[in-house]
Chain A
Amino acid sequence: GAGVSQSPSNKVTEKGKDVELRCDPISGHTALYWYRQSLGQGLEFLIYFQGNSAPDKSGLPSDRFSAERTGGSVSTLTIQRTQQEDSAVYLCASSFSPGLNTGELFFGEGSRLTVL
């Protein structure tokens, strides 16, 4: 597609359930990011993938969060045993080039997660 595609756009789940959020980056973009946007907060960095390099997982808030990127393209963010504090909008972004000064980040519209 023309832009970064995320699914689902909205997800309501019960506390304790697992959820998967999907990101389809712009074709040819080697860098992929996940950010979390909680109500009234700025965007919080979660994880970064660049090509075949080991991902930077330093922003994942707990071991209930994991992400993978298959074939250098689609990425899935998985949250296990969801908690109410996980409720947020999860934003994916991709970039043609890995550096902030060489590639612009293009963001998807986000996946809004509500944990009841």
Chain B
Amino acid sequence: AQSVTQPDIHITVSEGASLELRCNYSYGATPYLFWYVQSPGQGLQLLLKYFSGDTLVQGIKGFEAEFKRSQSSFNLRKPSVHWSDAAEYFCAVGAPGAGSYQLTFGKGTKLSVIP
């Protein structure tokens, strides 16, 4: 069975500082990988996704993530955090292949931003 671990429950950074949110997964092959963001009172929004190919993927709002097969990781990064980035971030995996539809989510990392 696949699983996702987000080791950091809560991270606080200063506005303008860089950010890295960690995500490790357990799966027998390379899964589909996703990062979602949930702002207070909002639904989840897709930030970026990885299926195959280039291991560095760009997403919305200036976020990027790097897939590292050797470390079973898909960490999310942003070079300069804005106050509006304060939210909860979820990493998710899905089985690769046509017709795959179910996501397995991590428990999330809450990001606080100090002005």
Contact = CB atoms under 8 A, between A and B. Distances in A.
Interface of A: 3-4, 31, 33, 35, 40-45, 48, 50, 56, 59, 91, 93, 98-102, 104-110
A91 B4 CA distance: 19
B53 interface: no
A75 to B, nearest CB: 15
Query: Interface on chain A toward B: helix, strand, loop, or mixed SS?
Result: loop
A4 to B, nearest CB: 7
A65 B105 CA distance: 21
Given A98-B101, A99-B101, A105-B103, A42 B4 contact: yes
A101 B51 contact: yes
A72 to B, nearest CB: 16
B99 interface: yes
Nearest to A109: B43
Contact of B102 (A42, A48, A91, A107): A48
Contacts of A109: 41-43
A98 B100 CA distance: 8
